[in-house]
Amino acid sequence: MRNLAVNGERLWASLMELAQIGATPKGGVCRLAGTDLDADARRLFIRWCEEAGCTVTIDGVGNIFARRAGRDPTLPPIVTGSHLDTQPTGGKFDGAYGVMAGLEVVRTLNDLGYETEAPIEIVAWTNEEGSRFSPAMVGSGAFAGVFTVEDALATRDNNAPELTLGGELQRIGFAGPAPVGDHPVAAYFEAHIEQGPILEAAGLPIGVVTGAQGQRWYEITVTGQEAHAGPTPMPRRRDALVGAARMIDAVNRIGHGHAPYACATVGSVQVSPNSRNTIPGRVFFTVDFRHPEDRVLTAMDQELRAACDAAAATQSLEVEVREFWYFPPTPFDAALVGAVREAAAAQALAHQDIISGAGHDAVYMARVAPTAMIFVPCVGGISHNEIEDAKPEDLTAGCTVLLNAILESADGSR
């Protein structure tokens, strides 16, 4: 394992300059996909890549690839990057860090005159956030064949449905000529802020991401009987909200029951008729289950269904449990995860294995290429917020690990 260091000050300066594009008064960034500000950030990124000697191509969904040649042009590239778009009240680091870390890797190799065997490409994926155009991770998803190019381009602006992602990419000049996804990738690495509190609480600069959680989402409808809140005696009630409350409590207990990795959330509840003196006749609520192991997600599914049936039976209620979405757990490539872990150890950087709780472009890339991620802590674990912050030394550490893990892969030792 080599032991090369990146230029942390240059990385920080680039992040701060990029963050001025779409800067908000509270210190965050608003740079939605397909906007003029997105185009400004893309142009700055391309200018920096070309100054670093890279050749830039743009594919049909606007994904940008900046290639640093290797000794052997027949080898597929090692790809690293993330996204330049943000949430409406986003921060300076979500996505931007992964792209700027990739650029810093290339700049460092240039400083050292280091020629890799395989080419290295920095990628900026289109519309990772899914905030203006839903769903999320559309650029990497189209690249990986999860969405067709037509479907990706036809995605509509949530607030202005007459606008499509394809139309907006045309307008800002980033509907590129390169085919989408016909692009072999030897390995994909993504550096990202953790967006959670685990690394900061443990006092560790590096998270070795071993995979992403699987998810099961449900829509649950509980039906009882509407009745007057005064004349209806307690034993005669079929109160859908009381039943739903017991089910929601069960969801929380199921999450605690599969600690430490399970997450279980009810985030939306609709009560009908939602009148203070009518016994609720119908309740609709959502469930979001997450866990890195499919077998545990299956157990949580069975426990949820049993708990809903039991709660419904005590009130003579009907309950419909509909699975709305399923996303399997994504384990990352063992060899690349090992390269990340060894790179951290070689730099004497304290680290732990960690599971990604959020979606990332890497989750779709893992379907088409060996993939790994590197997490660095963010202050207070807060992200998707204008106060999102990260320490320069942690960002430098993550980028150093990225550089050394990439070299392990780019020089053919893996």
Residue 62: φ, ψ to 5°: 85, 5
Window of 87-95, 203-211, 300-308, 390-398 that interacts with Zn ion by CB under 5 A? 87-95
* Residue pair 191/344 in contact by the 8 Å Cβ criterion: no
Q: Indicate which single residue of 22, 95, 102, 370 sits in contact with Zn ion (rule: CB under 5 A).
A: 95
Q: Which is nearer to Zn ion, 95 or 176 (CB)?
A: 95
**For Zn ion, how many residues bind (rule: CB under 5 A)?**
2
Residue 115 CB, nearest distance to Zn ion (Å)?
Answer: 31
Q: Which is nearer to Zn ion, 315 or 383 (CB)?
A: 383
Q: How many helices (H) and strands (E) does the chain have?
A: 12, 16
Site membership for Zn ion, residue 196 (CB under 5 A): no
Alpha carbon dihedral 22, 92, 123, 330, in 10-degree steps, equals -130
Residue 250 CB, nearest distance to Zn ion (Å)?
Answer: 32
Q: Which is nearer to Zn ion, 99 or 344 (CB)?
A: 99
Site membership for Zn ion, residue 85 (CB under 5 A): no
Residue 81 CB, nearest distance to Zn ion (Å)?
Answer: 11
Residue 333 CB, nearest distance to Zn ion (Å)?
Answer: 20
Q: Which residues contact residue 248 at a Cβ distance below 8 angstroms, ignoring those fewer than 6 apart?
A: 266, 269, 285
Window of 69-77, 91-99, 214-222, 385-393 that interacts with Zn ion by CB under 5 A? 91-99
Site membership for Zn ion, residue 94 (CB under 5 A): yes
> Residue with structure tokens 């559309």?
138
Window of 95-103, 236-244, 310-318, 326-334 that interacts with Zn ion by CB under 5 A? 95-103
Window of 5-13, 93-101, 149-157, 337-345 that interacts with Zn ion by CB under 5 A? 93-101
Between CA 334 and CA 25 the distance in angstroms is: 43
Q: Which is nearer to Zn ion, 93 or 285 (CB)?
A: 93
3-state DSSP of 378-409: CHHHCCCCCCCCCCHHHHHHHHHHHHHHHHHH
Residue 314 CB, nearest distance to Zn ion (Å)?
Answer: 44
Q: Which is nearer to Zn ion, 281 or 359 (CB)?
A: 359
Ranges assigned E (strand) in 237-376: 263-265, 269-272, 278-279, 282-291, 318-327, 330-331, 351-356, 371-376
Which 38-57 residues touch Zn ion, going by CB under 5 A?
Answer: none
Ranges assigned E (strand) in 224-340: 227-228, 263-265, 269-272, 278-279, 282-291, 318-327, 330-331
Residue 84 CB, nearest distance to Zn ion (Å)?
Answer: 10
Window of 94-102, 110-118, 167-175, 248-256 that interacts with Zn ion by CB under 5 A? 94-102
Residue 95 CB, nearest distance to Zn ion (Å)?
Answer: 4
**Site residues (CB under 5 A) for Zn ion?**
94-95
